[in-house]
């Protein structure tokens, strides 16, 4: 009986989770983004430093014109678990940005070069200015984008996803969006200032296609060729990886600690199990499971 209830309760528990990961957007007729392989997937996943550095380059040369990453500090770029630029690189990089500071002793605001402790400044002084410069819609900050977007997987996939630790839906969506610009199908009229995107909910997106092949020149390797192709697909994946890191900068530390914690708990489970056996042996062992005895 105890077993039946356990089994039924487990089933109920699984089923109770139906729809627990609701979409940030209605699924509608929007196709589900393809699931890609990411280096930080799974219990031992880590970011690919070179990919994060390339992704940052794409952000800087393409996205930065409109989108901020205002939750990220320059110093983060040198911290472990991220792109891991050197401190010197970060210092030099920060100095290229201007930060509004002040007021000084005469009460004036002034601009100074950024320091590693500063956050990335946005190209626009405020949301209204950004909206005015971009056809009425402010380009959203990208710091958390990889966690702020997802798509519905539905029953029963969400159960399977929980078991295999699939939590890269945000990244899959971002890449799909960046490569998802298409000519509008017949019968769909795209309003002025809009663009047709296969993966954007409702399909009409205000952001023009941001990437094109060869747009960003990656560093050349020893053979005079970049390590990865300079294509839209590659740019999209690289910048997505970078944004996955800006959204979850402590992912590597989290997974590392998680492994230790779970390993420890499994060991403790074994100790607890045998201790319990020993303690209960005095009153006749595991009462529910006594062989030959009909339990309730």
Partner 1 sequence: MADAVVSTAEPTRRDFLYLATTAAVGVGAAATVWPLVGAMAPDADTVAAGAPVELDLTPIAEGQIVKVFWRGKLIFVRHRTEAEIKAAQDVNLDALRDPQPDSARVKEGHADWLVVYGNCTHLGCVPLGNSGEYNGWFCPCHGSVFDTSGRIRQGPAPINLPIPPYTFVSDTKIRIGESGATA
Partner 2 sequence: MNDHHHATTYVPKSAFAKWFESRLPIAGLIHSSFVAFPVPRNLNYFWTFGGVLFVMLVLQIVTGVILAMHYTPEATKAFDSVEHIMRNVNYGWLLRYLHANGASMFFVAVYIHIFRNLYYGSYKAPREVLYILGVIIYLLMMATAFLGYTLPWGQMSFWGATVITNILAAIPVVGDAIQSLLWGGYSVGNPTLNRFFSLHYLLPFMIVGVVILHVWALHVPGNNNPAGIDIQSGRDAVPFHPYMTVKDGFSLVVFLIFFAWWVFYMPNYLGHADNYIPANPAVTPAHIVPEWYFLPFYAILRAIPDKLGGVIAMFGSIVVLALVPWLDTSKVRSAVYRPIYKQFFWIWVVVCVILGWLGAKPAEGGYVIAARIATAYYFAHFLVIMPLIGFFEKPKPLPRSIVDSVLGPGASRIPVGAAAAPQAKG
* Residues within the interface to partner 2 (CB under 8 A): 1-2, 5-6, 8-9, 12-13, 15-26, 43, 71, 76, 140, 143-144, 147-150, 155, 161-162, 165, 167, 170, 201, 247, 249-250, 253-255, 257-259, 261-262, 265-266, 268-269, 272-273, 275-276, 279-285, 287-288, 290, 293-296
Residue 117 within binding range of partner 1, rule CB under 8 A: yes
CA dist 285 and 293 (Å) reads 12
The interface partner of residue 203, options being partner 2, partner 1, none and the CB cut-off 5 to 8 Å by kind, is none
What DSSP designation does 227 have?
Answer: S
User: In this complex, which beta carbon is closest to partner 2, that of residue 222 or of residue 266?
Assistant: 266
User: In this complex, which beta carbon is closest to partner 1, that of residue 79 or of residue 161?
Assistant: 79
Neighbours of 114 (CB within 10 A): 21
The interface partner of residue 65, options being partner 1, partner 2, none and the CB cut-off 5 to 8 Å by kind, is none
CA dist 27 and 87 (Å) reads 43
Q: Give min distance, CB of 120 to partner 1, in A.
A: 14
Length of the chain: 296
Residue 278 within binding range of partner 1, rule CB under 8 A: yes
Q: Give min distance, CB of 209 to partner 2, in A.
A: 23
Q: Map residues 62-91 to x or -, x wherever contact with partner 1 holds by CB under 8 A.
A: -----------x-x----------------
**Based on the number of CB atoms within 10 Å of its own CB, is 142 exposed (0-12), middle (13-18) or buried (19 or more)?**
buried
Q: Which helix (H) or strand (E) holds 204?
A: strand 204-205
Q: Give min distance, CB of 250 to partner 1, in A.
A: 10
CA separation (Å) from 75 to 79, 86, 114? 7, 10, 11
Transcribe 150-183 into DSSP letters: -----TTHHHHHHHTT---HHHHHHHHHHT-B-P
CA separation (Å) from 294 to 157, 288, 289? 39, 9, 9
User: In this complex, which beta carbon is closest to partner 2, that of residue 129 or of residue 262?
Assistant: 262
Residues in touch with partner 1 (CB under 8 A): 73, 75, 105, 115-117, 264-265, 267-268, 271-272, 274-275, 278, 282
């Amino acid at each position: 009986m105890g077993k039946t209830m356990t089994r039924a309760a487990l089933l109920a528990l699984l089923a109770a989770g139906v729809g627990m990961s609701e979409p940030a957007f209605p699924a509608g007729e929007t196709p589900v983004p393809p699931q890609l392989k990411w280096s930080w997937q799974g219990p031992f996943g880590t970011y690919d430093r070179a990919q994060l550095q390339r992704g940052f380059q794409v952000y800087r040369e393409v996205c930065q014109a409109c989108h901020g990453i205002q939750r990220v500090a320059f110093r983060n770029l040198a911290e472990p678990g991220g792109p891991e630029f050197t401190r010197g690189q970060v210092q030099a990089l920060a100095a290229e940005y201007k930060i509004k500071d002040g007021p000084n002793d005469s009460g004036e605001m002034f601009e100074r070069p950024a320091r590693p402790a500063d956050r990335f400044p946005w190209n626009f002084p405020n949301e209204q200015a950004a909206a005015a410069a971009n056809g009425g819609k402010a380009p959203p900050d990208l710091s958390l984008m990889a966690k702020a977007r997802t798509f519905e997987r539905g029953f029963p996939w969400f159960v399977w996803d929980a078991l295999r630790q699939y939590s890269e839906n945000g990244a899959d969506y971002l890449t799909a969006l960046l490569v998802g610009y298409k000519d509008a199908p017949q019968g769909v009229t795209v309003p002025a200032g809009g663009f047709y995107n296969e993966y954007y909910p409702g399909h009409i997106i205000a952001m023009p296609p941001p990437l094109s092949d060869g747009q960003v020149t990656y560093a050349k390797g020893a053979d005079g060729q970049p390590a990865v192709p300079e294509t839209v697909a590659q740019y999209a994946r690289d910048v997505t990886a970078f944004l996955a890191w800006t959204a979850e900068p402590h992912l590597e530390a989290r997974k590392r600690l998680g492994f230790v914690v779970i390993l420890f708990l499994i060991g403790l489970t074994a100790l607890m199990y045998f201790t319990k056996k020993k303690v209960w042996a005095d009153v006749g062992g595991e009462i529910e499971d006594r062989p030959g005895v009909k339990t309730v």
